[in-house]
Amino acid sequence: MQDDGNPAKRRNSDAIKSGVAHAPARAMLRATGLDDAAIAKPMIAVVHTWSNVSPCNLTLRELAQHAGEGIRASGGTPIEFNTIAITDGIAMGSSGMRASLASREVIADSIELAVSGHCLDGVVLLCGCDKTIPAAAMALARLNVPGVILYGGTIMPGKCKGKAVTIQDVFEAVGAHSAGKIDDAELAEVEKAACPGAGACGGQFTANTMAMVLTFLGVSPLGLNDIPATHADKNKAAFQCGQMVMQRLQEGGPLPRDIITARALRNAAHAVSATAGSTNAAMHLLAIAHEAGVAFDLEEFQAASSTPVIADLKPGGRYTAAEMFEQGGTALVARELKAAGLIEDIPTVTGRSFFQEVDAAAYPAQQDVVRPLSNPIKPQGGYSILYGDLAPEGCILKLAGHGRNHFSGPARVFDSEEACYAAVDARRINAGDVVVIRFEGPVGGPGMREMLAVTAALVGQGLGDDVALITDGRFSGATRGFMVGHISPEAALGGPLAKLREGDIVSIDAAGRTIDVAADLSQREPARMAPRITTGALAKYARSVGSASKGAVTAPGPLDGKTIPSITTTTSRDDLILV
């Protein structure tokens, strides 16, 4: 195990295993079962977010074994790590949802620390749900070692009364139940049918949106993320990823920061628009760009939003992600965007360019899940970036699932998700209302909870197209209706939303890209509240997290080096005005 002094042959792991001084480290590696030959090989991290608390990450520990086999077959030694996952579908509507976005930072931090702390040579990242996916890309960008990301895969759709159902249908059934449209037995029927096995939520919700994003970024091989979690080919995909990371190591790249460029990020933004994907993708792409040191802002998403919706996917469309896989998968979207000149060629983790991968993909003779750009489902993408009285730093309007572009009505102001849900459940929200949920941003929540319980209940009551909802929190990818989220600066840091009052007339104009109020907010004092959480991880998160308009990141990135993005406000984080 002596260092031969040849810099060309040196690897990161030589720092812990080569030379006399590292005999103690080698002794500990031997205790894990590694012999001289295994220690001498490149050491590749296999990091996964396995958990048995939900279906989303349930298969990742098995996939890790197959990824490890691929690494061994290509001359490397796999080193396995596990990190955490917070399951949004379970936490939704509870205080536990505050942990979700914060977990993205913890996951990225833990991957970075485990891989760099052991001086490993490359990494295969296995992820399975909403925050684990962007966290994997963020960590990969930070580490900038040879690496590949594989999504554990979508769940198969459930079947209820002859139609495909997902977790979205369960949330909306709760609203229908509160409206008296279905009884306990009918709710239980949907509940028991919606999630038939392992895999992440089945529509073009956040998990499947972000899995597609990884493909368009080039850090996941085209087609492999599409394979459902329980499909027979998923283990083979993991094996291929193990081989692939060794190829990138042996060839010296391309490395993650060679791949995650402004062009790749724009490609991903166009794909989100074309599939009416989750608005969470905007914040996650901003965070990935931050970690990769790429200048990228909300206006990039506005530019991409002109891309028509061509994928007929839930929550607004007919098909689940598994059904799209059966008809050709992500390559269908890529082919159409390439043909229309809406995406650019980029390097990928496979060693081939993205366009080479698209051209080499197999396509069915017939399919009806993805349309050509000449015959779109909608002429404009699934979101728009707005600014105005209530959002000087910007916010995101979700357009998928309805045709209207303007909404104006009286504000119904709630200082927490729970207070709003209670009003919805009690049928105190009326058609024409603008429902406002504030103090739920990254700092104020803390953790920027998603509002799926509220939005799904409104849809279930038949109000999905008749009310608007605005918040400094977030929406699930399963949300549909006229919804505005990520309002920045948030209420907790003195944002204008804190000055809004019950009955104020709020106007939202998608075409004009504005969100304004018929009131002089400069003459009002903001609502003031005490912080919800003052100790522990979430309190630490609230003190360090930046604006949602800049990705809600907590760590310095290559472009700033010293400070994280901050909100322009006169309010100190030591003197918050929280609920």
Rg (CA), the chain: 24
**Residue among 491, 520, 525 nearest 505 (CA):** 520
The answer to whether 47 and 78 have CB atoms below 8 angstroms apart is no
Q: Is residue 347 left, alpha or beta, with left meaning phi > 0 and alpha meaning psi from -120 to 50? A: beta
Q: How far apart (Å, rounded) are the C-alpha atoms in residues 198 and 55?
A: 4
C-alpha torsion 333→339→345→348, nearest 10: 30
**Is 186 assigned a ligand-binding role in the annotation?**
no
**Is 191 assigned a ligand-binding role in the annotation?**
no
**Is 336 assigned a ligand-binding role in the annotation?**
no
DSSP 413: E
Q: Please state the separation of Cα 185 from the chain's center in Å.
A: 34
Is residue 94 among the annotated active site residues? no
**Is 56 assigned a ligand-binding role in the annotation?**
yes
| Collapsed DSSP state (helix, strand, coil) of residue 41 | coil
**Is 181 assigned a ligand-binding role in the annotation?**
no
Q: Which of 13, 100, 476, 507 is catalytic?
A: 476
Query: What DSSP letter does each residue of 74-134 carry, written as one string?
Result: TT-EEEEEE-----HHHHTTSGGGHHHHHHHHHHHHHHHHHHHHTT-SEEEEEE-STTHHH
Q: How far apart (Å, rounded) are the C-alpha atoms in residues 58 and 50?
A: 6
Q: Please state the separation of Cα 252 from the chain's center in Å.
A: 29
Residue 144: in which H helix or E strand, if any? none
- Give catalytic residue positions: 476
Cite the annotated binding site by residue number.
56, 88, 130-131, 450
Binding residues for Mg(2+) are 88, 130-131, 450
Binding residues for [2Fe-2S] cluster are 56
